[in-house]
Structure 1
Amino acid sequence: MTVKPVINHMNQLQQLHESLLSLSRRKTEALKTNDVASIQQLLLQEKKHVQAIEKVEKQRERSVAQWASEKELPSREWTVSDLIEMVGGEEKELLQEAHEGLFLVLADLKQQEKLNKELTQQSLQFINMSLDLLQPSIQTVNYGGQEASKSTAKRSIFDSKA
């Protein structure tokens, strides 16, 4: 067996991650414009992409395990880096290209999601600050503060004039 199925799965993973990166960029724009409806739709699409990525990743793992068993290698979790070291020629080059392409897309996606996280945190900080400004504190609710309540507590009913 060749590593062609592994390369195909790697290419599929790269395409799915590129699509996920596109969604992440659209999510950044929605965060900037505070478009909650778009953000919700994008999150649903992201969830579908993640499920597809998990499915293809499991297929890739099975292909790698099958390749290793056909080569009569000990059973363990084989990585793509391990395969790159073991294969040669055109397969090695194709596998390296697929690995590097996926790595670059993942790095871009990580950076984009970091930006989205920062934008979300800033939005939450702004919301908390706005809520703090709108909600009065306990001290400002009592118009007289502490002094007025103390003076009324010192008077007794018998001190009043008849």
Structure 2
Amino acid sequence: MTIEPVIQRMKQLQHLHESLLFLSKKKTETLKTNDLSEIQQLLTQERKHVQAIEKIEKQRVQSVTQWAQERDLKAREWTVSEMIDRLEGKEKENLMNIYEKLILVLSDLKQQEKLNTELTQHSLKFINMSLDLFQPSIQSVNYGRKQGYSNKRSVFDSKA
């Protein structure tokens, strides 16, 4: 078996991650405009992408396992970087190129999702602050110490 099935799976993964990156950038813009229905649609699309990625990743693992078995290598999970170390020539170059492209896309996706997380957290803080303004606590209504009835008598209640 050649390395071609592994390269094809890697290309599919790269394509799916690039599409996921596009959705993530779109989600950033939607978070800025606070369009909840659009955010829900994007999350549904992201979920479908993640499911497809999981499926392709399983196929990639199977292709790598088959490649290793045909070369009588130890039965264990082989990584792409370990495969690159064992390959030579054109196969090594092709696999290395697609591997590097995938890593760059994953890095961009990670940064984009970090930004989305920060935007979501800021939005939640704003919502909590707004709710606090609409529903003040008992302590803030009383401006400090709790007011209550005391047994002490004031000057005005004393006998003359």
TM-score (norm 1): 0.88
Corresponding residue number in structure 2 for 1:66: 66
Q: Which amino acid aligns with 1:21?
A: L
Q: How does 1:25-104 map to 2 (within 5 A)?
A: 25-104=25-104
1: CA distance between counterparts of 2:32 and 2:55? 32
2: CA distance between counterparts of 1:97 and 1:142? 67
Asked if 1:106 corresponds to 2:106, the answer is yes
1: CA distance between counterparts of 2:140 and 2:117? 35
Deviation at 1:87, TM superposition (A): 1.0
Deviation at 1:148, TM superposition (A): 6.1
Corresponding residue number in structure 2 for 1:126: 126
Computed over aligned residues only, the root mean square deviation of the Cα atoms, in angstroms, reads 1.9
2: CA distance between counterparts of 1:81 and 1:146? 66
Cα separation, partners in 2 of 1:125 and 1:103, compared to 1, 3 Å = same
Corresponding residue number in structure 2 for 1:17: 17
Cα separation, partners in 2 of 1:138 and 1:71, compared to 1, 3 Å = same
Give the 3-state SS of the residue equivalent to 2:56 in structure 1: helix
2: CA distance between counterparts of 1:46 and 1:39? 10
Q: Which amino acid aligns with 1:116?
A: N
Cα separation, partners in 2 of 1:150 and 1:15, compared to 1, 3 Å = same
TM-score (norm 2): 0.89
Corresponding residue number in structure 2 for 1:158: none
Cα separation, partners in 2 of 1:82 and 1:140, compared to 1, 3 Å = closer
Task: Count matched residues.
Answer: 153
2: CA distance between counterparts of 1:139 and 1:72? 73
Instruction: Name stretches of at least 5 consecutive residues in structure 1 with no aligned partner.
Output: 156-162
1: CA distance between counterparts of 2:127 and 2:96? 46
Deviation at 1:85, TM superposition (A): 0.8
1:81-129 Cα deviation digits (max 9, x unpaired): 0110111111111000110000000000000000000000000110111
Instruction: Name stretches of at least 5 consecutive residues in structure 2 with no aligned partner.
Output: 154-160
2: CA distance between counterparts of 1:18 and 1:120? 22
1: CA distance between counterparts of 2:39 and 2:146? 47
